Chain A
């Protein structure tokens, strides 16, 4: 019973490098999300996808791109990493209906030096 799986768990990048964070869910959920967690800031929404083939910006989208590859997978790409993107990134998924909870992955701890 995997739920939401994120890879990698840890990553160190140099400024200017690119990388893709992967997320997959096996619960047949329509909606998927990417959040970043920073001390004292809570979780802030980067992008979300209400269904396969659609994506929308959240609160802090600058410097990121996303791809909803299929219903299961939602990836987050950093094209040119900056130290300000050092954070813990969480992927989540839910059914697209009020009142239903979102399920979270274990997180990716990214450090940009």
Chain B
């Protein structure tokens, strides 16, 4: 079945460092891909999305490109801030559109 694999955390960075969180997926067809973010004590919020191959989603300085050939959707940010500390989830909507499938989440901790 459909699945998402993302890098294990936690990821600890200093402010202004470059961030990459890897995400790969297994799915039939062309699923839509998402990154969600969860701040402490809160629910999940959509960070960015891409709906077809080679699409680039971007928001708040974060970017991710839908790579069909490598089945990947890696999250990047050029310069992280302390306020980016959160748990990041990669997810896909299955082809039938019946459910979001999540990776296990990556905890990011940024120190000043």
Binding site for B on A (CB under 8 A): 4, 31, 33, 35, 40-45, 48, 50, 56, 58, 90, 92, 94, 96-107
Number of A-B contacts defined by CB within 8 Å: 61
Q: Are A33 and B93 within 8 A (Cβ)?
A: no
For the complex, give the distance between the alpha carbons of A11 and B101 in Å: 26
Q: Are A98 and B43 within 8 A (Cβ)?
A: no
For the complex, give the distance between the alpha carbons of A100 and B97 in Å: 9
Q: Are A56 and B43 within 8 A (Cβ)?
A: no
User: Which A residues are CB-close (under 8 A) to B34?
Assistant: 101
Contact partner of B99 among A45, A90, A106, CB < 8 A?
A45
Q: Are B97 and A43 within 8 A (Cβ)?
A: no
| B73 interface hit (Cβ, 8 Å) | no
| B98 interface hit (Cβ, 8 Å) | yes
Within 8 A of A (CB), among B70-101: 89, 93, 95, 97-101
